[in-house]
Amino acid sequence: MAKILLVIGTRPELIKIAPIVHAFRNVGKDDIIKILSTAQHRDMLEKYWDIFDIRPDYELDFLKKGQSLGELTARAFEQTDSFFSELEKVNKKPEYVVVQGDTTTVFSVGLCSFYHNIKIAHIEAGLRTYDIQNPYPEEVNRRVVSILADINFAPTKISADNLLKEGVPKNKIHIVGNTVVDALQFITKHKVYAHKEFSEKLLNNTNIEKNKVVLITFHRRENQNENLNQLINAINQLSKEYNQLKFIWTLHPNPQIKHFVENSLLSKNKNVILVPPLEYIDIIKLMNLSRIILSDSGGIQEEAPSFGVPVLVLRKTTERPEGIMEKKAFITELKINSIIKQFKSIYHNYYPKDLKNPYGDGFAADKIRDILLSQNNCV
């Protein structure tokens, strides 16, 4: 019987949980872990099982085309409930379920684990904006799991302090760093990263020079409104003024966002390259080539400091304040003039002082493994 069930639903979850699988494998303890894929991002997961050399032991099927957030959550909970019930019938219920981050997978699997009396370990616990609309619905997902978790793996002291303020017992909190840094170190040593060409052919046909790239990602639900229009207009102006730069916008698969951006005035700007959703490896390569990144992504805020690249955070607030405090990331109001002003300030004044990443040291997975192994039922 597996003692520990690691749950993966989205590409970021796979990226951040894979180092933990390797950590158990490195000490010959991978026999006590199993992997559940919920397939919340099935198409985006496939390639990375092979790159990280891991495979799921169990698979569910959360994703259904065109479903609402409520339908996704209901479907996720129902499938997880049935899955745990089947494990219980054959005496294979795990001692711990390990979830990562703030997705619907995390919320649904976490709550269902509680209902089935399975202990929960939450990776990347304690991140907070204290605004339930930003990020939406992730802020609520993360808070709910913190209430339920038996072990909270906080990436930083700030996230640990948030949990303490909320009444989480100190003995349930462990500061370990963020496994995204472990994953980044693994990927940048991998042969697919060393390969000069991109997976996306459009990028190979574009002359891309280091420090002459502006990477743009934009996907959060709370930004799928007038904020998107404001960003498009800001990029339109910036791309004309800074015509020596390539503005590479990796489009989110949401058809409404994709269609809106592709049919905007940006399509006429020669130095704005609109590309489909990129592979993680391509994003990491572009990050390393970038002068500035504009993004509402949490993962990019965590990864960019390792390359010394500043991030203009396209959000009202962030649950990752460490980069802001160390002046490696900068929040902007989502208004044309604010985006342009912040961009210019960073472009003309930012010079990386060091490549130290405030979110981790590359050993988070080992720390998580050791803490899980120290639990009596997991030895």
For helices 69-89 and 104-115, give the axis angle rounded to 10 degrees: 40
Q: Which domain holds residue 212?
A: 192-349
Q: Quick: pLDDT tens for 235-279.
A: 999 999 999 999 999 987 777 778 888 888 898 899 999 999 888
Q: Does residue 309 lie in a domain region?
A: yes
Is residue 222 within 8 Å of residue 136, measured between CB atoms? yes
Lowest mean pLDDT among 36-45, 107-116, 126-135, 331-340: 36-45
Binned at pLDDT 50, 70 and 90, residue 355 comes out as confident
Mean of pLDDT values over 12-27: 96
118-151 pLDDT, tens digit per residue, is: 999 999 999 999 999 999 999 999 999 999 999 9
- pLDDT exceeds 60 at position 183: yes
Catalytic residue among 13, 95, 102, 200: 102
Quote the pLDDT of residue 351: 82
Q: Which of 220, 252, 315, 320 is catalytic?
A: 252
**Active-site choice (13, 95, 138, 322):** 138
Question: Do 24 and 148 fall into the same domain?
Answer: yes
Count of domains for the chain: 2
User: What is the secondary structure of 5-28 as a DSSP string?
Assistant: EEEE-SHHHHHHHHHHHHHHHHTT
More confident residue, 206 or 54: 54
- The per-residue DSSP string of 229-298 comes to HHHHHHHHHHHHHTTTSEEEEE--S-HHHHHHHHTSGGGG-TTEEEEPSPPHHHHHHHHHHEEEEEE--H
Which of 174, 219, 326, 333 is catalytic? The answer is 219
- Kindly state whether residue 62 falls inside one of the protein's structural domains: yes
Does one domain contain both 241 and 312?
yes
Q: What is the pTM of this model?
A: 0.91
252 in catalytic set: yes
Using alpha carbons only, what angle is made at residue 321 by residues 107 and 326, rounded to the nearest 5 degrees? 150
User: In DSSP terms, which residues pair with 213 in a beta bridge?
Assistant: 246, 290
* DSSP class of 70: H
122 part of the active site: no
Q: Is 303 helix (H, G, I), strand (E, B) or coil?
A: helix
Residue 183 resides in a domain: no
In a domain, 356, yes or no: no
219 is catalytic: yes
Looking at residue 39, its pLDDT comes to 82
197 an active-site residue? no
Catalytic residue among 124, 282, 319, 322: 124
Is 150 part of the annotated catalytic residue set?
A: no
Whether 66 and 39 share a structural domain: yes
